[in-house]
Amino acid sequence: MKSKRISDKMEKLLNTQMTTEAYQAQVYLSYASWAEVNSFSGIATFLYGHMHEEREHMFKILKYINDRGGETQIEAIKAPPANPKNIGDCLQKVLKAEMDNSKDIDKIVNLAHEEKDWATFNFGQWFVKEQIEEESLVNEIIDKYNLASNETSDNNSLYEMDRDLAGHSQEGDMPREEKF
Ligand code: FEO
């Protein structure tokens, strides 16, 4: 058994964040499925892909808690919100979810700073960078969507944008070190 190297408060906060990441995965899963049945297969592919990213985030936190001698609590995941009204609404909701998640990550980094827990501070920086990337990625897609939906009176641009998104990277354009 490893000696515990994180505070009880940090252990609790990291556990909460682990469940939040699992919830984020549920949100992406539910929106992806909605997009798929509404014939936006490209957006669905992108959202399914991102669901996996969120599961990886969850797992990264689980491993960190265990590595630092803490104990993980696997808890129930709340249900995702209602389906979006349309693709624009879907993307705005995804952006809001990412911005809320960034605030939650900040709580970990703030506590680590307060406790002079530099290991967790360092760990948290990966997520800080990840959130910058994710917000930037979703903003980029929203820009494309706005352009496509304003460009023509028919649905051709939206169709092309959707097709384009199927092969869209899960990463933003900003350089980042290896994931983990
Ligand atoms: Fe795990 Fe989208 O942040």
User: What pLDDT sits at residue 179?
Assistant: 46
* 101 vs 98: CA distance, rounded Å: 5
- pTM score, whole prediction: 0.89
Mean pLDDT by 10 residues, the chain (180 residues): 95 98 98 96 94 98 98 97 96 96 98 98 98 96 86 67 77 53
Alpha carbon separation from 98 to 15, 21, 27, 32, 71 (Å, rounded):
18, 10, 11, 16, 26
131 is in an annotated binding site: yes
Longest dimension (CA), the chain: 64
Contact 50, 27 (CB under 8 A): no
User: What pLDDT sits at residue 155?
Assistant: 65
Contact 40, 87 (CB under 8 A): yes
Whose C-alpha lies nearest to ligand 1, atom 1? 54
Q: What's the length of the chain?
A: 180
Q: For the chain, how many helices (H) and strands (E)?
A: 5, 0
- Any idea where the domains of the chain sit in the sequence? 8-172
Query: Which of these CATH numbers, 2.40.128.110, 3.40.50.2000, 1.20.1260.10, 1.20.1050.10, describes 8-172?
Result: 1.20.1260.10
56 is in an annotated binding site: no
User: What pLDDT sits at residue 150?
Assistant: 74
168 is in an annotated binding site: no
Cα of 69 vs centre of ligand 1, distance in Å, is: 24
* 5 vs 169: CA distance, rounded Å: 36
Cα of 155 vs centre of ligand 1, distance in Å, is: 31
User: What pLDDT sits at residue 131?
Assistant: 97
User: C-alpha 81: how far from its chain's center?
Assistant: 15
57 is in an annotated binding site: yes
User: C-alpha 93: how far from its chain's center?
Assistant: 12
Give the nearest ligand 1 atom to 131 CA: 3
Give the nearest ligand 1 atom to 20 CA: 1
Cα of 24 vs centre of ligand 1, distance in Å, is: 7
Give the nearest ligand 1 atom to 50 CA: 2
For ligand 1, residues with CB inside 6 Å are 21, 24, 54, 57, 98, 101, 134
